[in-house]
Amino acid sequence: MSQRKDDWRTLGGIEVPKIAGPDKSGKPPYTRGIHDSMYRSRLWTMRQYAGFSSAEETNERFKLLLERGQKGLSVAFDLPTQLGLDADDEMSEGEVGKVGVSITCLDDMRILMSDIPLDKVSTSMTINAPAMVLLAMYVVVAEENGVRQEQIRGTIQNDILKEYIARGTHIFPPKESMRLITDIFEYCADEIPLWNTISISGYHIREAGSTAVQEVAFTISNALAYVEAAIQTGLDIDTFAPRLSFFFNCHNDFFEEASKFRAARKLWHDLITERYNPKNPKSSMLRFHTQVAGVSLTAQQPLNNIARVTVQALAAVCGGTQSLHTNSYDEALGLPTEESATVALRTQQIIAEESGVANVVDPLGGSHLVEMLTDEIYQRSKQKILEIENMGGAMKAIEAGFQQKEIHESAWTHMTQVESNERKIVGINHGVLEEEEMPPLLKPDPELGNKQKQKLEELRNTRDNDLVENSLEAIRIAAAGEINLFPLVIDALRNDCTLGEIISAMKSEFGTYMAPSGF
């Protein structure tokens, strides 16, 4: 891969070495970075998370971001979609298109990806319980546009354990959810080799109130549970592990966050190598996307959030992220406007092209503080992982409420520190101003729910409903057995089954999950 440029110098003309120290990057245990030259060869992917209201409006936002320099797509789905509900389900009332885009049927996905070159753009989808169905929709739409399964690139979050811990958009019980995940691993290993089959997420764990150490520990503990589940189904570590990816938060403490990423890479490498002895080096290589901390944004003095986002994004880059989303300054108030989304993207571009941090591998390596924090986070996270394993592993600990309780306690500690002014937040308890007006906000189409209902009614009246029922029955039979469900879901979508119908067919065999009270 060619370098971005040939001569690496500071603004004042001083030559910049590739590595600021004696250690190598791109070598196990990857503390300094997973690639030898890191951003000298290729910048991180600027992947802005977007999705609101209709597929048409979100498609326009995608095109705008790509036109302004974004390199990958990241899809936010509305709550009904995340829960596997059709837009005309009574449980969807009032929520269609509110916190993301409404995708109920194959035609919605066609519109969402209209005029986007799916063989050139990678797409990340923040979807978990119904991840198989949304990826299958993407596969069918790509094929309709002449793009083969083996050509598409991207990621599905597909991380159900963190839903039980911190987020709550689960549908099925744990065992059945893990079945869907390993079915995806198996299918994609053979048919969609460039797809990241899971993005094991610490982001939502951190947003719920965890510390940096808890974020690393709980995320890697979940990842180890997925590895074990896949191996128990007969998959070889090198068949699926190279396509595992991670998703981390980046909060306000600059040095702790940059050190967290370095520690996570080393910890993942060490644990996978010690336990599974993979032959493919990529099996122990932690690749991750970062999103800056939404929970840190304030509705008060929202323009201050530009500074917060910049500090957080800089920490992620100094920590060696492969992909980055920068939040818009107005997200504590509503969905990002075109202006605020552009400022968020420009923040990444300024860091990349003007700050100089992308000119050297591991720019903070060698710092006494960073090296100490890296080691401390590594040791504390590893100890917490061992504590979880002594309880029987991530799932047993989740069922006992261990991770949930720890997060609640950390969130409570932070809140009391802010309320007592021990921890200062500008605009909240420090530098407070009287504000007369707020920035303009983006409001989703209030009629979208009705429009989606009409669309579904027309679909159900014009499709071949015998084919639909045959497809759903095949899914029910497979769910009761051991057949891989992915090919059947693809066939069901080709026959115009909806998201909610496919998920309902699975529910009829899998059942649903309700978390124990008090977690």
Q: Return the pLDDT at 2.
A: 38
3-state SS of 356-398 is: CHHHCECCCCCCHHHHHHHHHHHHHHHHHHHHHHHCCCHHHHH
State the Cα–Cα distance between residues 319 and 313, nearest whole angstrom. 10
**Local structure of 77: helix, strand or coil:** strand
Number of Cα atoms under 13 Å in the Cβ half of residue 440: 6
Q: Return the pLDDT at 517.
A: 56
Q: Of 455, 484, 490, 457, which is closest to residue 471 (Cα–Cα)?
A: 490
Q: Which two tokens stand for residue 209?
A: 């109130």
The type of residue at 37 is: S
Q: Of 357, 376, 273, which is closest to residue 316 (Cα–Cα)?
A: 357
Q: Which two tokens stand for residue 235?
A: 């998959």
State the Cα–Cα distance between residues 32 and 323, nearest whole angstrom. 16
Beta bridge partners of 442: 335
Query: Could you give all domains of the chain from N- to C-terminal order, each with its CATH number?
Result: 1-38 (no CATH), 46-288+378-419 (3.20.20.240), 452-510 (no CATH)
CB 296 within 8 A of CB 308: yes
State the Cα–Cα distance between residues 372 and 378, nearest whole angstrom. 10
CB 359 within 8 A of CB 300: no
| Inter-CA distances, 368 with 210, 260, 371, 403, Å | 25, 15, 5, 31
State the Cα–Cα distance between residues 465 and 444, nearest whole angstrom. 32
State the Cα–Cα distance between residues 317 and 351, nearest whole angstrom. 8
How many C-beta atoms lie closer than 10 Å to residue 516's C-beta?
10
Model-level pTM? 0.93
- Determine the angle formed by the axes of helices 212-232 and 368-390, rounding to 10 degrees: 50
How many C-beta atoms lie closer than 10 Å to residue 317's C-beta?
25
Can you list the alpha helix ranges (DSSP code H) found in 192-234?
Answer: 203-207, 212-232
Q: Return the pLDDT at 1.
A: 33
pLDDT in tens, the chain (519 residues): 334 666 789 989 999 888 766 678 899 999 999 999 999 999 999 988 888 889 999 999 999 989 998 888 999 999 999 999 999 999 999 999 998 999 999 999 999 999 999 999 999 999 999 999 999 999 999 999 999 999 999 999 999 999 999 999 999 999 999 999 999 999 999 999 999 999 999 999 999 999 999 999 999 999 999 999 999 999 999 999 999 999 999 999 999 999 999 999 999 999 999 999 999 999 999 999 999 999 999 999 999 999 999 999 999 999 999 999 999 999 999 888 889 999 999 999 999 999 999 999 999 999 999 999 999 999 999 999 999 999 999 999 999 999 999 999 999 999 999 999 999 999 999 999 987 777 788 788 889 999 999 999 999 999 999 999 999 999 999 999 999 999 999 999 999 999 999 999 999 999 999 876 554
320 contacts: CB under 8 Å, gap ≥ 6: 32, 33, 34, 38, 261, 262, 265, 362
Q: Please give the biggest Cα pair distance in the chain.
A: 72
